[in-house]
């Protein structure tokens, strides 16, 4: 095989000077990296025996696309048309306007993050959030850390180190991303004492290990991402509370997804206030049903919460100022009865969703075959398992091709393929996003032969 002829490769300078790149307005470093990528690819192709070299204008366009990709941030806004409001892969809860403003304010300048303005000296970082949490849950004490996994770790490390902690076999859950309750317990220094069976645990099961001295604390975990149906039994938090009181041992609870009050979830869905009234400490996520930023929230008895705050781990797990700003604003929304976006999405009525789907179908029908269909969605984020959320979507054709095209759009649009159609569920669309979808499909139509 003869040596490949690399002399046909355009020069870097020539490629960079072509209008598609030179006039792109992209940073020079991205232009160069894009041109490099295209030349590298071509060089490899020539070495592999390829003899055709595309015209310079085509190479320049390829280089520009590569440069655009390189200039773009890795973490990008996407349109969530999956219908899953708390989609863990898509960042769970979108923040409310109030929370967004709070984040911008905290980010743009300095803040009184740990400064008491009235006293003129160092102040508490989470003070205001603690006050709001106490007001909203009725708990004596409150604290917030980086996420709920951190909250569970802190709770067990600070309050039950070296102790036997009794937990129902039906609650030894894996939350996802390899967060398993038994592993976290092991890391915290607590000793797992399993009680009951997978489907049934009785109060007497807990009582037996307290009586024998095997366990010195109780842990209840809300199995938030699955549902056990059929021949089942578990012990309510109030019964555990009475038992913990009798044996003078702490009762700790991981509620997973904390609902601060009634909402678009089942009547018997445990609220934070209910569990907090019974337990020493309850922890839950900031970005599940609360609809705020990633955070782990802990509420409970004053003395227990004081021990959490002063534990050395608290500093390592602390909440950053941007999340803190967003969390405070989210709690203010809850206090003022303003539904945060995730809650509004979960609350949306099927007849309204149907109308929105019809409007979207009308907007998109000039560009591709589409029709409205009824769908069954879910809340996501490991919340409300087994609860179907009847919703409405626009079904597009051709599914595979449009799925890839929309996913590659400037603002990627993510739907799901179901029965050979690409479904765009309107439940999770935010204001202005239907225009993004229309523009993308208009561009797709323009590219069709």
Q: Which is nearer to ligand PLP, 38 or 219 (CB)?
A: 219
Cα–Cα distances in angstroms (integers) from residue 54 to residues 3, 50, 61, in the given order: 20, 11, 11
Minimum Å gap between C-beta 418 and ligand PLP is 26
Minimum Å gap between C-beta 231 and ligand PLP is 23
> Beta strands 421-425 and 416-418: pairing type?
antiparallel
Residue nearest to ligand PLP (CB): 256
In degrees, rounded to 5, the angle at the alpha carbon of residue 318 between the alpha carbons of residues 333 and 295 is: 35
| Residue indicated by tokens 């645990």 | 201
- DSSP classification of residue 145: E
Minimum Å gap between C-beta 185 and ligand PLP is 12
Burial class (CB in 10 A: 0-12, 13-18, 19+), 75: exposed
Q: Which is nearer to ligand PLP, 150 or 325 (CB)?
A: 150
Q: Which is nearer to ligand PLP, 280 or 403 (CB)?
A: 280
Residue 311, helix vs strand vs coil = coil
Q: Which is nearer to ligand PLP, 222 or 343 (CB)?
A: 222
For ligand PLP, the binding residues (CB under 6 A) are 147-149, 152, 175, 179, 221-222, 224-225, 254, 256-257, 285, 296, 382
Q: Which is nearer to ligand PLP, 207 or 320 (CB)?
A: 320
Minimum Å gap between C-beta 264 and ligand PLP is 18
Minimum Å gap between C-beta 296 and ligand PLP is 6
Give the full edge-to-edge strand order of the sheet including 370-377: 370-377, 389-396, 421-425, 416-418
Hey, what are 200's tokens? 């049934």
Minimum Å gap between C-beta 27 and ligand PLP is 36
Cα–Cα distances in angstroms (integers) from residue 67 to residues 217, 295, 425, in the given order: 57, 36, 32
Three-state SS for 64-116 is HHHHHHHHCCCCCCCEECCCCCCCHHHCCCCCCHHHHHHHHHHHHCCCCCCEE
Minimum Å gap between C-beta 287 and ligand PLP is 7
Q: Which is nearer to ligand PLP, 95 or 175 (CB)?
A: 175
Q: Which is nearer to ligand PLP, 30 or 84 (CB)?
A: 84
């Amino acid at each position: 095989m003869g040596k490949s002829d690399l002399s046909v490769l355009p020069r870097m300078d020539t490629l960079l000077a072509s209008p598609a790149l030179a006039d792109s307005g992209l940073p020079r470093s991205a232009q160069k990296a894009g041109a490099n990528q295209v030349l590298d690819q071509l060089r490899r192709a020539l070495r592999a025996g390829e003899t055709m070299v595309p015209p310079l204008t085509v190479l320049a366009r390829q280089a520009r696309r590569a440069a655009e990709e390189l200039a773009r941030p890795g973490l990008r806004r996407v349109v969530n048309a999956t219908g899953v409001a708390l989609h863990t892969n898509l960042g769970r809860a979108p923040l409310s306007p109030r929370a967004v403003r709070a984040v911008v304010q905290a980010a743009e300048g300095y803040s009184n993050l740990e400064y008491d303005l009235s006293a003129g000296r160092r102040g508490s970082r989470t003070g205001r959030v603690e006050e709001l949490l106490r007001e909203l849950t009725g708990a004596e004490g409150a604290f917030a850390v980086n996420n709920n996994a951190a909250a569970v770790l802190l709770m067990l490390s600070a309050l039950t180190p070296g102790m036997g902690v009794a937990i129902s076999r039906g609650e030894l859950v894996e939350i996802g991303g390899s967060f398993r309750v038994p592993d976290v317990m092991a890391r915290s220094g607590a000793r797992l004492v399993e009680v009951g069976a997978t489907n049934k645990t009785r109060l007497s099961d807990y009582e037996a290990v307290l009586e024998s001295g095997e366990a010195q604390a109780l842990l209840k975990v809300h199995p938030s991402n699955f549902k056990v149906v059929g021949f089942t039994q578990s012990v309510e938090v109030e019964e555990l509370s009475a038992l913990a009181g009798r044996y003078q041992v702490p009762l700790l609870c991981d509620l997973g997804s904390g609902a601060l009050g009634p909402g678009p979830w089942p009547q018997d869905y445990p609220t934070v206030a209910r569990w907090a009234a019974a337990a020493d400490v309850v922890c839950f996520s900031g970005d599940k049903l609360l609809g705020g930023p990633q955070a782990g929230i802990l509420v409970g008895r004053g003395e227990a919460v004081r021990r959490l705050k002063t534990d050395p781990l608290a500093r390592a797990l602390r909440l950053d100022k941007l999340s803190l700003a967003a969390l405070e604003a989210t709690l203010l929304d809850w206090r003022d009865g303003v539904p945060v976006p995730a809650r509004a999405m979960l609350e949306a009525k099927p007849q309204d969703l149907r109308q929105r789907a019809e409007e979207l179908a009308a907007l998109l029908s000039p560009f591709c075959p589409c029709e409205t269909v009824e769908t069954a969605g879910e809340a996501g984020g490991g919340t409300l398992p087994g609860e179907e959320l009847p919703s409405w979507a626009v079904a597009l054709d051709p599914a595979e091709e449009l799925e890839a095209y929309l996913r590659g759009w400037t603002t990627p649009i993510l739907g799901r393929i179901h029965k050979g159609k690409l479904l765009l569920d309107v439940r999770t669309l935010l204001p202005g996003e239907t225009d993004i979808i229309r523009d993308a499909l208009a561009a797709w139509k323009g590219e069709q032969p």
